[in-house]
Structure 1
Amino acid sequence: MDECKLVLQGTLADFVASLDAGRDAGQHARGSLVERFRQLPVLWDQMLDLFKVDTFSKQIQGPLLTKVAASDRRGRPLGQCLNFATQDYLALSYHPAIRQAAIDAIETYGVHAAGSPALVGNSVPSVMLERAMSQWLGMSECVLFPTGWGACFGAVKALVRRTDHVVLDELAHASLQEGARAATNSVYAFRHLCVSSLERRLKRLRAQDPSGGILVVTESLYSMDSDVPDLKAHQELAHRYGANLLVDVAHDLGVLGRAHGLGAMEVQGVLGQIDLVVGSFSKAFAANCGFVASNHPGLKLAMRFGSGPNTFSTAPSPIQTAVALKGLEIVQSSEGLACRQRIFERSTALRAVLDAMGLQVLGQPSAIVPVLMGGVARSRLTARFMVEQGVLVNLVEHPAVARNTSRLRLQLMATHEPEHLQACAEALGTAIGQADDMLREINAGRDPQSQLV
């Protein structure tokens, strides 16, 4: 076993495969499904300790601020760190009005919905939130889900039948892809953001099946690349071929569209025109619930009584829906406008600094600043050295992105100051240098075919 390669470039599947390789195939076939993972924690700890690249599953000790006390997944302190790793874009999770909304909800309603929304799990805040979101989005119907993931999966699964088809952007979120594959075997991908690729796929499908249902799926802002599709073109194409468009607005709603915070839909002038809008309150609204909205009659009943993650899940708690309501109020206020302006300015500034350093920054200004690193080994080492310098960042690698396109996903908050951006950029430059130096030392003793990148 090449332990060095496994640690610096291996995936979870590779770790499991390394365990399987040392196990008798016959015994494994007769064993419990979970037995294959018995030694994984020990191996994982031993392997990662070799190079200290275990930068996943970190813990925050206290509120999510721009500076946080953190520890690794085993509870070992990482010290005070600059926080570029959380999805609290408007910095509302510790906002005094948000905290007070949660306290008031507890006093008035308690802490738990204690029932499915199809039965008696709805509360005054949840009903108010559905109405407020419908009005804000310019749509007639909105239904809440316990999570954004559940909203995406559940919407696709409820809408699509076995005889229908789903056509997704190849980089659509896992929740959307898994929902599609759970609904039908007729699932197709089109090239990322490519309208012509989408049209070719729709044209072929319609020729094969003149009357079947087709759902086109994309996102309004892709969190791995910070890029945006042409929503109007997607919607027009969908209707031209008798299809419906579903757009996941998780990462731009509340953050982009500086006038009103309605994301790419606002910027592109398609507010209220998209067939189905799904999203999450967990990025800009400080709450753990999601939603599906539409202008189509019957959507709410279809979701409530025909979507497993809604029908058979406990409804969002009154605390979460009260928090989301307060978050929406802030997003719509002058304070929300100021937060969006700061995020745009900080993103533009950080991108300019990183560009000047010769780094490849993906996409356009948003709360997400993805820095392409390439190889997994270099990326893991860079993330390790960033943490050692007191900057928390998220590493994204295969299978979340394509092989050899690993990236550091820097995530901004409205409370980041210019000095935080400069410190992050300086730490990144130093960390890349340290990672490259270590890789050269490692590769010096390896043959050309086994070089790590």
Structure 2
Amino acid sequence: MRHREQTDATNRDRTDGVSLLHRSAAPGEDHPVRGLDFASQDCLGLSTHPDIVATAADTLRRLGVRSVCAATEAGAPGLALALERRIADFLQMEEALLCPTGRAAAQAVIRGLVRPADHVVIDAAIRGSLREVSEIATDNLSPFRHLDAEHCRALLRAIRARDAENGILVVTESLSPLDSGTPDLAVLRALCDEYGATLLVDVSQDLGCLGEDGRGHLGLQDMLGRADLVTGSFSKSFASNGGFVATRTRAVTRCLRVGDAAAQTLSPIQIAVILKAFAIIDDAEGRERRARLMRNVLNLRTALRDRALAVCGEPCTSVSVEVGTGEPARLAAARLAERGLLADLAALAETGRLRLHVTAGHGDAEIARAAACVAEVLGEVFGEVFGEAPGKTRSAATGSSARSNLRAAA
């Protein structure tokens, strides 16, 4: 069940999310600015969890400091195998493959499966490694309108009308970092079945931190084990860098292990930390932290809307405020930092968005302060740039052999 827009003011106020925003002291100052951090993405607060810290320290004492290396050279190869099994079971997939980063995971799966004659049909809002490696792998790249399954269907139909032989990879994200939107994964699954395509879902934004069980939108949409390929990273919820590819077919994982992805894995400390994070995420404490996180998200979205600001997409860890164009967003981000609030900026061709990354550790007072600060700064910026308030006009901007490898993954 997806979360409704609601608030809960009954819990006691928390102040443990206030952090120091480090900068050079101005003349006459002898201390850093104290403010609010809404730019970090340790959304469950596991990076400072005592069990995580103890696990990292124990692994360090036993195995020492090691750089990213091959699994067999990592000092404890059983750790890597245990983590791969944990990922596969968590997602109800057949097997998983560890990668040094989320970017490396995208490169491993697309370079390993897509050949020049194949087709990639990708959500137009996807940027970064998934888009870049697709452009390198094949010239047959067809973006479909963001979250528009009917446009995806039209592209698949046109491709199959002229090419009945080569593979098609459909690429989407379970949660878009740009607008907090989520696709209808069941519809995309049905389209892939109809047109003989392979479905790849990247879960970097919601795995571990959304849904009662932490399975994100794959779990919320009853799609666990139904995508052909799942990629993701650990940095948002699992207190470590790193990435993975999970597959429904063991033969596909074996194919990927032959490539560059098999040459490097994570350090023993990273692997041990991620395993411990999985244990926390999958038990009662993980559910409590996700509930606290979602409560903060809903309260922030409500507080921003109460101030006539346009909030985008589904409730998730990143609360995006519609700005309308890139220039006001850049001005606002700088002024927010000057006032002690760190936020992220997503600038698109047609609009700009301020993103506030919410954590389970933020308190009610911090949520209220952040909303008030954003509204005040945007009011100033829009008054200077447009001569009007942000809520009146800017919200309108929201309306504006390859074949064998890919067929084996399907």
Q: TM-score, normalised by structure 1?
A: 0.78
Give 1:237-248 correspondences, 5 Å limit: 237-248=191-202
Q: 1:418 — aligned with what? A: 364
- Provide the C-alpha distance between the structure 2 equivalents of 1:115 and 1:272, rounded to a whole number of angstroms: 29
State which drifts further: 373-382 or 76-85: 76-85
User: Which digits, 9 at most, give the CA deviation of each residue in 1:273-299, with x for residues without a partner?
Assistant: 111111111101111001100121222
**Larger displacement relative to structure 2 (292-301 or 218-227):** 292-301
Please state whether the residue corresponding to 1:374 is helix, strand or coil.
Answer: coil
Unaligned stretches of 5+ residues in structure 1: 1-64, 442-453
Report percent identity of matched pairs: 37
Q: Give, in angstroms, the shift of residue 114 of structure 1.
A: 5.5
CA distance in 1, matches of 2:69, 2:278: 24
The answer as to 2:352 corresponding to 1:406 is yes
Map of 1:450 onto structure 2: none
Distance 1:388 1:114 in 2: 37
Alignment of 1:333-352 (within 5 A): 333-352=283-302
Whether 1:291 aligns to 2:244 is yes
Q: Which residue of 1 aligns with 2:406?
A: none
> In the TM superposition, what is the alpha-carbon distance from 1:440 to its structure 2 partner?
6.7
Query: Are residues 1:279 and 2:241 paired?
Result: no
- Asked which structure has the greater RCO (Cα within 8 Å, sep 6+), the reply is 2
Measured after TM superposition, the shift of residue 128 of structure 1 is 1.1
Report the aligned-residue RMSD: 1.9
Query: Offset at 1:437?
Result: 4.6
Distance 2:287 2:83 in 1: 20
Task: Give the corresponding residue for 1:353.
Answer: 303
* Alpha-carbon spacing, 1:114–1:374, altered in 2? closer, same or farther (3 Å): closer
> Counterpart of 1:53?
none
- 1:289-438 to 2 correspondence within 5 Å? 289-306=242-259, 308=260, 310-312=261-263, 314-397=264-347, 401-403=348-350, 405-438=351-384
Counterpart among 20, 24, 39 of residue 69 in structure 1: 20
CA distance in 2, matches of 1:266, 1:154: 25
Unpaired runs of 5+ residues, structure 2, are 1-15, 388-410
Instruction: Report what 2:205 is aligned to.
Output: 251
1:184 aligns with 2:162: no
**How far apart, CA to CA, are the structure 2 residues paired with 1:269 and 1:261?**
13
Distance apart, 1:75 and its partner CA? 8.9
Per-residue CA deviations over 1:370-422 (Å, capped at 9, x if unaligned) read 0011222221221122112211111221xxx223x111111110111111100
What amino acid maps onto 2:117 in structure 1?
A: T
| 1:69–1:81 contact (8 Å) kept in structure 2 | yes
Distance in 1 between the 2:17 and 2:233 partners? 22
Work out the CA distance in 1 between the residues paired with 2:240 and 2:108: 19
Q: What is residue 446 of structure 1 aligned with on the other side? A: none
- Rounded to whole Å, the distance in 2 between the matches of 1:114 and 1:180 is 25
Distance 2:62 2:248 in 1: 32
The SS at the match of 1:232 is helix
Bigger radius of gyration among the two: 1
Within the candidate set 79, 88, 91, 1:137 is matched to 91
Matched, 1:173 2:127: yes
| The one of 150, 153, 164 aligned to 1:196 | 150
Structure 1: 4+ residue segments shifted above 4 A: 74-78
Task: Return the offset for 1:235.
Answer: 0.9
Q: Out of 164, 170, 176, which is 1:216 matched to?
A: 170
Letter of the 2:305 partner, please give it. D
